[in-house]
Structure 1
Amino acid sequence: MLEKILCVDDDPITLMLCKKVIKKSDFSQEIDSANNGEEALKYFDNLIIENVNQANNFPQLIFLDLNMPIMNGWEFLDIFSKNEYLENFYKTKVIVLSSTIDPNDIKKSKDYPMVIEFLSKPITSEILEILKNIIK
């Protein structure tokens, strides 16, 4: 079981569903959320200020939507893959959770070393069971 997960999605229903499925499957003890990439970056900036070195202070996994207003998933990944974030959150992995079926998006996601999987929405308990074996 992971200590903490961050779900980043602009759709409140998707966020609610994601939280319910994660809680039900005992995949993570704590689930935080952000409505877009900008909120997610502010979340991580606050963790840096609060002292990220505390073991359970940062999420081990991010479920990231791609198509969001203000700052989309690609923009978030571009910034999150820069040194300031990589140095502090090198253990945090990303799973793109998107409704897109564009093969170019899947291919592009592999350009980011922190992205370990590209999944279609919605998240299910079956998918989480598979992920438990991938994320250790």
Structure 2
Amino acid sequence: MLDKILCVDDDLITLMICRKVAERVEFAKEIITANNGEEALQYFDSLFEEKKSNDTLIYPKLVFLDLNMPVMDGWEFLESYITRDYQNVFNLTRFIVVSSSIDPYDINKSKTYPVIGFLSKPITKEMLENLKTQMSLNKKSTH
């Protein structure tokens, strides 16, 4: 089980589903949500400030990220995240794109970011159980 995940989507129902499914499969102890990339970036900004005085800060190791959102979309968020050099500060955080359409262009573009996969909406119990199993196998192989 992860300590903390972040779900970023402008659709409140999708956020609710992400939260409920993650709770049901005991995917994470804490599930944070953001309504767009800007809110997610503000969340990481606040974590960055807090990390300066708290070296043991618990931050999300996994972010479920929608691409098409108002205010700041997923690509703009990822670009800002990298520009701020957060991938070095929060070096264990990885991203999974959650989209209603899986476009090959987006899949290829994601390879330039710390995106580890794509899921189609809505997130299901089976998807998270499979992901949980994959993450457990990966974790075991790194010890």
Match of 1:94 in 2: 95
Consecutive unaligned residues of structure 2, counting only runs of 5 or more, are none
> What TM-score do the two structures reach when normalised by structure 1?
0.93
CA distance in 1, matches of 2:36, 2:92: 21
Consecutive unaligned residues of structure 1, counting only runs of 5 or more, are none
Match of 1:115 in 2: 115
Q: Higher mean Cα deviation, 95-104 or 38-47?
A: 95-104
CA distance in 2, matches of 1:6, 1:53: 20
Native 8 Å contact 2:63 2:94 kept in 1: yes
1:50 counterpart SS class: helix
CA distance in 2, matches of 1:67, 1:15: 14
Native 8 Å contact 2:94 2:116 kept in 1: yes
Flag the structure with larger Rg.
2
1:40 counterpart SS class: helix
Matched residues, number: 134
Native 8 Å contact 1:109 1:118 kept in 2: no
CA distance in 1, matches of 2:65, 2:125: 17
> What TM-score do the two structures reach when normalised by structure 2?
0.88
CA distance in 1, matches of 2:100, 2:39: 20
Q: Which runs of 4+ in 1 moved over 3 A?
A: none
Native 8 Å contact 1:10 1:35 kept in 2: yes
Match of 1:43 in 2: 43
CA distance in 2, matches of 1:55, 1:77: 21
The one-letter amino acid paired with 2:131 is L
